[in-house]
Amino acid sequence: MIKDGDDEDSSSPEVKLSLSPESGSLIHYYQCKLNKSKEEEQAEGNPSASKFPKRETYSIGRANTTSRLFSSPIRRSTSNTYSNLRFNFKPEKYPMLEMTDFLTIQNEAESHCSKLFHLKTAELDSSSWKIPPPDQLYIHEKWKIEELIAMKNELNKTKGQLENFDIDSWHKHTQLCNPAHKISNFFRYKAKPELLTQAFLKFFEVLHAFTLVPEFDNFANSSFRTLHLCEAPGAFIVALNHYLSLHRPNIKWQWLGNTLNPYFEGTPSTECIADDRFILHTLDNWCFGNDETGNLMTLDYLDELIRRVGRNNVDLVTADGSIDCQENPAEQENTTNSLHFCEVYSALCTLKEGGCLVLKKFTFFEVDAICLVYLICCCFKKVSIYKPITSKLGNSEVYLVALSFEPSVIELYMNTLRMHYGQKLGNVALFSLEQIPSNFITLIKECSTFFKERQVKAIERNIYLYHNPSEKNNQYVDLLKSMVLETFEENNSCRPIAAGQRIVLQNMKWDYNIIPDRHNTKWGGQIKKETS
């Protein structure tokens, strides 16, 4: 069941955690976790050793970035003054918190806003990263790396603790505890975007964190062309328009979107996004294919898509697709691999030299995901894994951002890859483990550890807060939200655009076009009915 980009409306009102007599302290909880980790290390006789050597990652900001070691948050002096606090807040608003609490919260906010891991840069040695000859692909049995499988099992064990919670109660709780909870209402008030969803905010962050749009404003003889896969309801497109209107107002922009067709009679309502407020007014910019399904996982649709945009003619491809994994959440990575391969292959067919790819991914524990990421790293000069501030802490969602596409690297392999388009690989792997350089495998292990540890910590934090509601914990979470909001505002342009710069003009209807019996209504008839 293909599921397009996050369409959750980010308009939930700001509310407080429920108050009850203090039964626990979040500071005390983290201190216990730290002491426990130290005791375990000392028992092993090597208290300072870490599983992988420390390497640098970077915080993201409008100004110069500062390097930090990803293995632990910045530790600051705990003097009794406020000179070490870079965030603006009123201490008297949080009477139950002490100076050490403020510093702990600041460290947590900085850690939350710095989830970035570089897989390939000019500084990293990737000279041995080569794709094997075409006849050496898809001929080896699948393999596994026990260390990564152990990480997968640990993460799933942590997720398994959530099965005992009422789903509605837990969902409400995690919304309230989300460090990014204040951002959507703030951005709605400050920037007045066209279509504000979580997907809008996430891609808006990606646009500010990476150079996805050329630095110059004017294309002399061409346009800035973008392709958006699994895009409904259109939040990435609207976010890009908002960004371009603020930073590249003179650029000539052409875009095309893909999604499962919400008007096609054969598309089950459970498999597509019903919110067509944006699609309804921009139909000429959407490609549903000759069969009108919009199904990216068929070769017929792919060929029609290439015909529409041109081969190697696109500057930026975004792919925000997923598949409903509720029946088997422990296998999210394997369930989504086929779709992700189709998204990547479509990008390789359509991107021009120097183009960029933004791909939603999850974990990198098993062979298919590792091989796909390695393929991408061989075709692009820079590859990073990024979790935006507004991406929910407790899920595995990350975005792979690949810059500077090199089509000549992959040209000889396209026919071989096409043979497996939309197919399940069974027990066959794209590459053997021996064909992938060891330093790439080391980076994958480090990257998986980096994001897995933060996800586990977030889930455990939410469980602790669920069982220990207190005024002090309420103040802790509220201050954390404020610090995260301040960082988001610093890093992103939270300004409105002119009414004339919107894609859908304000005098056009922005309401849902959901018809209860839409499966008995022809596409053309429905559009005529709604626009007449």
CB contact at 8 A, 300 and 326: no
> By mean pLDDT, which of 244-248, 260-264, 385-389, 496-500 is the weakest?
260-264
Does residue 30 have a pLDDT over 80?
A: no
Please indicate if the annotation marks 253 as binding a ligand: yes
CA dihedral 338, 339, 344, 350 (to 10 degrees): 130
Average pLDDT over residues 25-35: 56
Average pLDDT over residues 16-39: 51
Catalytic residue among 120, 159, 360, 481: 360
- pLDDT value, residue 217: 55
- pLDDT value, residue 48: 41
In 50-166, alpha helices (H): 99-112, 146-160
> By mean pLDDT, which of 18-32, 181-195, 325-339 is the weakest?
18-32
Does residue 69 have a pLDDT over 90?
A: no
* 3-class secondary structure, 264: coil
Strands 428-429 and 224-229: unpaired
- pLDDT value, residue 221: 61
d(CA 55, CA 33): 24
* pTM (two decimals): 0.82
Question: So where are the chain's domains?
Answer: 2-6+124-166+190-439
Query: Does 360 participate in catalysis according to the annotation?
Result: yes
Strands 351-361 and 322-323: unpaired
Instruction: Let me know how many helices (H) and strands (E) the chain has, helices first.
Output: 15, 13
Please indicate if the annotation marks 234 as binding a ligand: yes
The more confidently predicted of residues 455 and 529 is: 455
Contacts of 87 (CB under 8 A, 6+ apart): 106, 109, 482, 483, 486
* 3-class secondary structure, 321: coil
d(CA 335, CA 346): 19
Average pLDDT over residues 141-160: 96
CATH topology assigned to domain 2-6+124-166+190-439: Rossmann fold (3.40.50)
d(CA 249, CA 243): 9
Average pLDDT over residues 409-416: 97
Name the DSSP letter for residue 356.
Answer: E
Average pLDDT over residues 387-400: 96
- pLDDT value, residue 508: 59
